[in-house]
Amino acid sequence: MSDMTAVVTGGSSGIGEATAALLAARGYEVTIIGRNESRIARVSAIDDRIDGVVADLSDPAAARQTISEIGDRTGSISVLVNAHGILGTPTPLERISDQQWDEMLSTNLRGPITTTTAAVPYLRAAGGSVVNVSSINAIQAEPWMAPYGVAKAALVGFTKYAAADLAPYGIRVNAVLPGWVRTPMAIPYFEEAGVLDAPVTTNFQQRAAEPRELAEVIAFLASPAASYVTGECVVADGGHWINMRELAPVADSDDGEH
């Protein structure tokens, strides 16, 4: 039994890939889960400590079986990172179909719920921790993105309730809420908005994050360095959420009053 075993869902691209690579570099034996076999093979080749499993985590039965097989093989799971998710097609609320709601909620909400609950026996054995990748959309509404935002907001709620219920087992549960990140899933949206290679004026950093920057936050929350942190939702968005730059600034007066 290893006390440094990690499972990263959505580990075949974007934030999940960066997190898997970072955890492996820090000595974890990492199993990534994804739906694309070729992408899994590519990420697994990054480090000998990374292994991969193909599974559709929107299917609860498949999610439970996959986690159980990984847990039985490794003996324990010390870190579970739920990084898988879909963005969906931006659609006005009144035009969103039942199928769109179902796809978003089954992948972005029910998937992490199922993997977390299935991993509890193995997390208990390791005194492990869970990190859910939510989104700034969980706390800040964006037009035409209701299914995505609702699912990510509910994931924040699940994070808090899971932290409360699993605390007696020594399991910590936290979430990270990224803003704009240059991932394969998000880049087409950046291109459409015309900000792929231009300054991002909606945050203080004036740019989108690289996946590795989010991986560093996730790795901290998962590690013993964050041993007193649970039930928290860490916003990592370059200051997007609190940015009021789009409001006209009040000019300074000569006497220093505003």
Q: Catalytic residue at 161?
A: no
Residue of 148, 161, 169, 189 marked active site: 148
Kind of pairing, strands 50-54 and 79-82?
unpaired
Give catalytic residue positions. 148
